[in-house]
Amino acid sequence: MYTYELRYDQKSRYLSYHDGLSPWGISDSLPQHLWSGEQSYFLVDESWFHVLSFSHDVDNTLDDKAYSAGDFYALCDEKYNYYLTQLDQFPAKQLGFFVDNITVNNKPSEFLLWQRGEIAFHLQLFFLQHSISDQVQRLRSHDSLLVVPSSLATIHYVKSTLWHNRFVLLYLYDDFAKLVYVKDGTYQRVETINLGKRKLIGMIQEAWLTELFHTIESGDGLQTHLIQSLEEVYLFYIRQLIERISGISEECDKLLLVGGGLSYPFFTQLFHREFSQKLSAFLIPLHLWFDDNFHGNSAMTDLLCFNHFHAYFQKNYHQVAT
């Protein structure tokens, strides 16, 4: 199995991909070994999708037949047709679906189909946005290549391991920060903020503190009065970010999850302190739960989570045939 975090540049029409080990690769095509027929997953930005999410229950205790694949697909069609009447412009094509929280007769179950009794489950239907659907078709020419929202496994990890259903994933990329709002264990919305890590580095360069920045973040000791200069720049950036997302605590039970992106130890220390004080936010650098030697790359956090739960997603995530 291969798993890649994948990005697509609309202007250059180039793909960039990352396997969590090698540096980012950039190409107008995908690595040749992905066409071998072995199952491969592409973790792509949530903005590519529109998500329909709902819980469903059925009682077939007195029926002559168990819950079948036909019953399930009929449910998907029913929900699709309902939402189609509610929206002026619906996303172009259904990409796939993800089923979790399955219970049969009030007991957790690994399987949904061919069950009898009181059945309940949670279903998410993923549809491609019109603006990206043509590009995604090139990734779906083989049945073995599956396209998945990048944070889907991370959300599952938080739900199943940390037992939280309302939270926000914060990703700090080079050019922007991304907020993934989760409510009732599923996607609520995704926002981007123009405060990426390059913005921070630009502030450091403008203050003529580049050499000091590299020295401090490499772990070399310096006198307190020198560190204070860099701390002021860090705090200015962090407080700008906090101001932009100040409504977060009211929506998501005051829980903020940091999805990587914090590879600078001194910056991370201040980041945690300020967010905890200003937002009463509980910060969890997710990568630390998987690999103590991991150094805070946002994409790799999602990759680690997905690879950790890959057997679960092989069973519960399915892509609709083209």
b/e per residue 228-255 (b: at least 16 CB within 10 A): eebbebbeebbeebbeebeebbeebeeb
From 127, 149, 171, the end of a domain falls on 149
Q: Which pTM does this prediction carry? A: 0.80
Number of structural domains in the chain: 2
Examine the domain organization and report whether 145 and 163 are in the same domain: no
Examine the domain organization and report whether 132 and 266 are in the same domain: no
- Give the pLDDT score at 1: 65
Specify whether the CB–CB gap between 69 and 31 falls below 8 A: no
Examine the domain organization and report whether 47 and 134 are in the same domain: yes
Other C-beta atoms closer than 10 Å to the C-beta of 56 total 14
Examine the domain organization and report whether 133 and 5 are in the same domain: yes
Examine the domain organization and report whether 206 and 224 are in the same domain: yes
| 15 token code pair | 């793909």
Examine the domain organization and report whether 189 and 127 are in the same domain: no
Give me the CATH number covering residue 256. 3.30.420.40
DSSP string, 31-91: -GGGGGSS-EEEEE-GGGEEEEEEEEEEE-TTSSS---HHHHHHHHHHHHHHHHHH-SS--
Maximal C-alpha separation, the chain = 78
Query: Distance between CA 20 and CA 294 in Å, rounded?
Result: 10
Examine the domain organization and report whether 100 and 136 are in the same domain: yes
Q: What are phi and psi of 82, to 5 degrees?
A: -65, -50
Per-residue DSSP letter, 286: G
Examine the domain organization and report whether 1 and 42 are in the same domain: yes
Contacts of 53 (CB under 8 A, 6+ apart): 122, 123, 124, 125, 184, 186, 187
Split the chain (322 residues) into runs of 10 and give each run's mean pLDDT.
65 59 52 64 81 88 86 87 69 75 92 92 83 59 73 85 81 84 85 88 93 81 73 92 71 61 78 80 58 48 79 80 52
Examine the domain organization and report whether 265 and 196 are in the same domain: yes
Examine the domain organization and report whether 5 and 134 are in the same domain: yes
Examine the domain organization and report whether 17 and 130 are in the same domain: yes
In a domain, 315, yes or no: no
Contacts of 40 (CB under 8 A, 6+ apart): 1, 2, 3, 4, 34, 144, 145, 146
Per-residue DSSP letter, 197: H
Which range of residues forms the domain containing residue 70?
A: 1-149
In a domain, 179, yes or no: yes
Q: What Cα–Cα distance (Å) separates residue 36 from each residue in 25, 117, 127, 145?
A: 19, 42, 27, 10
In a domain, 31, yes or no: yes
| 299 token code pair | 């994409």
Cα-trace Rg, the chain: 22
- Give the pLDDT score at 199: 92
- Give the pLDDT score at 203: 94
Examine the domain organization and report whether 48 and 145 are in the same domain: yes
Helix (H) or strand (E) holding 235: helix 224-244
In a domain, 60, yes or no: yes
Specify whether the CB–CB gap between 302 and 309 falls below 8 A: no
In a domain, 97, yes or no: yes
From 90, 122, 149, the end of a domain falls on 149
In a domain, 291, yes or no: yes
40-44 sheet: strands from edge to edge = 25-27, 15-18, 2-8, 40-44, 145-149
Specify whether the CB–CB gap between 315 and 110 falls below 8 A: yes
In a domain, 118, yes or no: yes
In a domain, 36, yes or no: yes
From 149, 168, 189, the end of a domain falls on 149
